[in-house]
């Protein structure tokens, strides 16, 4: 039943019910309402690109660019802080692998990874997801990130506010020179590490795996990295 079909009393009763639900039951309730849980269970169709026991990757039906992917945990989590550490680690390892996949198969030269926590940040779904957007030169996509000048005083205060106990003892003092502003001069030339092949095999972690072919597409990650150093 959609909310507008309920009268005020019913809405109130439902709100009350949700409020008093034990966490486990509440999670079940959210799960039933969640369109992405239905995609995961297969009730709603989607274009699945990658799947394992913890993660699902589908194509976004409203893509910022061709190949725009959504990486989701199969378990229902509304927000990032609820997710166990090992799941976060796995999901972003999947992101890395799929970014590599996009570079190799779609002829793109980069990618953006975006997570939105909270409505003000652009979060729209009640199911945690990571956006992976393949990028090309002049693809019409423009994200704006203003650069602001923050005073030393503001920065020092923020540093104190955010610093973690464990890190504090190792903290460096920002006195003497003003910290350099980013981005850095374009003159950097980075000697680059060797190309990383698409993942070494680990038998017990993956059910149906094919041996990864070394010569998959002739794409050299170093080329992409090298441009960064050269530009």
Partner 1 sequence: MSNENCILCQIVGNQVPAYVIYEDDIALGILDVNGAQLGHTFIIPKNHYPILEQVPDEEIGHLFNVANKISSALFEKMKIQGTNIYVTNGIPAGQRVAHFMINVIPRLENDGINLQWAPKQLGEEEMSTVELKLKDQAQTAVVSKQAKRPSKVVEHAVVSDDDEDYYAGHLNRIP
Interface with partner 1 in residues 44-63 (CB under 8 A): 47-50, 52, 54-55, 57, 59, 61-63
Which residues in the 1-30 window bind partner 1 by CB under 8 A? none
Quickly tell me which residue has 């995961």 as its tokens. 40
Specify whether the CB–CB gap between 130 and 113 falls below 8 A. Answer: yes
In terms of CB distance, is 22 or 118 closer to partner 1?
118
Which residues in the 197-216 window bind partner 1 by CB under 8 A? 198-202, 205-206, 209-210, 212-213, 216
Angle between helices 85-105 and 221-230 (to 10 degrees): 90
Specify whether the CB–CB gap between 131 and 114 falls below 8 A. Answer: yes
CB of 128 to partner 1, least distance (A): 11
In degrees and rounded to multiples of 5, residue 87 shows phi and psi of -70, -40
Q: Which residue among 104, 126, 127, 129 contacts partner 1 (CB under 8 A)?
A: 104
Which residues in the 106-145 window bind partner 1 by CB under 8 A? 106, 108-123, 133, 135-137, 139-145
Three-state DSSP state, 167: helix
Three-state DSSP state, 50: strand
The contact mask relative to partner 1 for 155-194 (x = CB under 8 A, - = no) is xx-xx-xxxxxxx--xxxxxxxxxxxxxxx--xxxxxxx-
CB of 7 to partner 1, least distance (A): 31
Closest CA to 143 of 64, 58, 68: 64
Residues β-bridged to residue 188: none
CB of 203 to partner 1, least distance (A): 10
In terms of CB distance, is 8 or 204 closer to partner 1?
204
Site for partner 1 contains 67 (CB under 8 A): yes
Specify whether the CB–CB gap between 87 and 128 falls below 8 A. Answer: no
């Amino acid at each position: 039943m959609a909310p507008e079909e309920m009268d005020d009393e019913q809405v109130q009763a439902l709100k009350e019910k949700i409020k008093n639900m034990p966490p486990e039951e509440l999670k079940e309730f959210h799960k039933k309402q969640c369109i992405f849980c239905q995609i995961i269970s297969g009730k709603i169709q989607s274009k699945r690109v990658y799947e394992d026991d913890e993660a699902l990757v589908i194509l976004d039906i409203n893509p910022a660019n061709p190949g725009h992917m959504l990486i989701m945990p199969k378990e229902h989590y509304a927000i990032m802080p609820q997710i166990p550490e090992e799941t976060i680690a796995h999901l972003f390892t999947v992101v890395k692998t799929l970014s590599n996949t996009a570079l190799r198969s779609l002829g793109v030269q980069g990618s953006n990874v975006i997570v939105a926590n909270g409505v003000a940040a652009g979060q729209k779904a009640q199911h945690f997801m990571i956006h992976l957007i393949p990028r090309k030169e002049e693809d019409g996509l423009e994200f704006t990130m203003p650069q602001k000048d923050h005073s030393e005083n503001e920065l020092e205060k923020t540093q104190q506010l955010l610093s973690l106990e464990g890190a504090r003892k190792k903290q460096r003092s920002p006195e003497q020179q003003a910290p350099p502003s980013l981005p850095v001069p374009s003159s950097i030339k980075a000697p680059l590490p060797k190309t990383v092949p698409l993942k070494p095999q680990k038998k017990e972690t993956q059910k149906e795996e094919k041996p990864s072919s070394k010569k998959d597409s002739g794409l050299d990650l170093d080329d992409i990295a090298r441009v960064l150093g050269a530009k």
